[in-house]
Amino acid sequence: MLLLTVKNEPKKPKNMKTNKKTCLVTGGSSGIGLSIVKLFLDNNYHVFNVDISPSSFGEFCRCDISNVEQVTDVINGISQKHIIDVLVSNAGIHFSANIENTSEADLDKVFNINVKGAYAAIKAVLPNMKANNNGAIIVMSSDQALVAKHNSFAYNLSKAALASMAKTTAVDYAAFNIRANAVCPGTIETPLYHQAIDNYCQKSGANQAEVHQEEASLQPLNRLGQPEEVAELVLFLASDKAKFITGSLQVIDGGYTAQ
C-alpha cells in the first residue's frame, strides 16, 4: 500500500528536458562569468550563457543585457522549457572617471548594462522561480559597493545599486523560498581588469608591471583574486549548503575592505 502511494506520486521534474538543475549566467563568455559557467557545467548543471559575445561553454543565448525586451524574450524562452534553479546576474562593464568627467551618456551606459540588465534578468526569472517555490539569485556586485575607489563614479554607484537589488529581492521573495545574495569581489584578474589597467597606463604613462604590482600589494593577501575563486563562492551560494543565506553581501577581496 505504501509502495503504491509512493509509486503514484507525480515526479517533480528538476528540468523538463535533462533532469539536471538549470543555471542562467549573464556575461558568461569571459572572466568571472566564464569561470562560473565552467564550474557549474562541471557540477552537472544545465547552463545557459546570456551574453552579447559568443562562447562555446554552456548553451549560448545572444542577448544585449541592457535591452529589457531582449532579456525578457530570451529568459521567457528558456522558462517555457526549464525550471530555472539559479540565476547569476554577472554581466557588467567598468568605466573610469570621476563625476565631472562622467557624461550623462556614460552614466546611462553603465547603468543600462550593470543595473538595468540585472533588473531585467531578475524580473524575468521570478515567475518561473515562484511557480517552483525555489530559486537562488546571485548578483555580481563589487567591493566598490562597500568602499569607493578613485575615478569610478558611475561604476561605484552601479555596484552599490546592485547590492541593494540583492537585498531588496531577498526580502520581497523570501516567502517563495527564493534567495538572493550579492557577491562583492575585490580586484580579480580578468580581461575587464587588464582593460582597466591598460587604459590607465595609456592615459598616465605609468609602467604596466609596476601598476600590476601596486594593485596586488593593495590586498593584504598581496595578490589579485582569480575568477575561479569567485566561481567557487557563487556555486556555494547557489547550493543547498547556503539555504539559510539570503540578503547578504559576500566579500571576496583578499582582505581589501577589512583595512
Collapsed DSSP state (helix, strand, coil) of residue 252: strand
- What is the residue-wise DSSP string for 162-209? HHHHHHHHHHHHGGGTEEEEEEEE-SB-SHHHHHHHHHHHHHH---HH
3-11, 47-55, 79-87, 202-210 -> range binding ligand NAD (CB under 6 A): 47-55
**In the complex with ligand NAD, which residue's Cβ is closer, 146 or 177?**
146
192, 94 in Cβ contact below 8 A? yes
| 58 is a contact residue toward ligand NAD (CB under 6 A) | no
Residue 3: CB minimum distance to ligand NAD, A = 50
Which residue among 20, 41, 64, 257 contacts ligand NAD (CB under 6 A)?
64
**In the complex with ligand NAD, which residue's Cβ is closer, 20 or 232?**
232
| 90 is a contact residue toward ligand NAD (CB under 6 A) | yes
Site for ligand NAD, residues 172 to 201, rule: CB under 6 A: 185, 187-188, 190-193
Residue 56: CB minimum distance to ligand NAD, A = 13
- Residue 193 catalytic? no
Residue 120: CB minimum distance to ligand NAD, A = 10
**In the complex with ligand NAD, which residue's Cβ is closer, 83 or 237?**
237
Which residue among 31, 58, 135, 254 contacts ligand NAD (CB under 6 A)?
31
From the list 171, 112, 117, 109, the residue with the least C-alpha distance to 139 is 117
Which residues of the shown chain bind ligand NAD in the complex (CB under 6 A)?
27, 29-33, 51-53, 64-66, 90-93, 113, 140, 142, 185, 187-188, 190-193
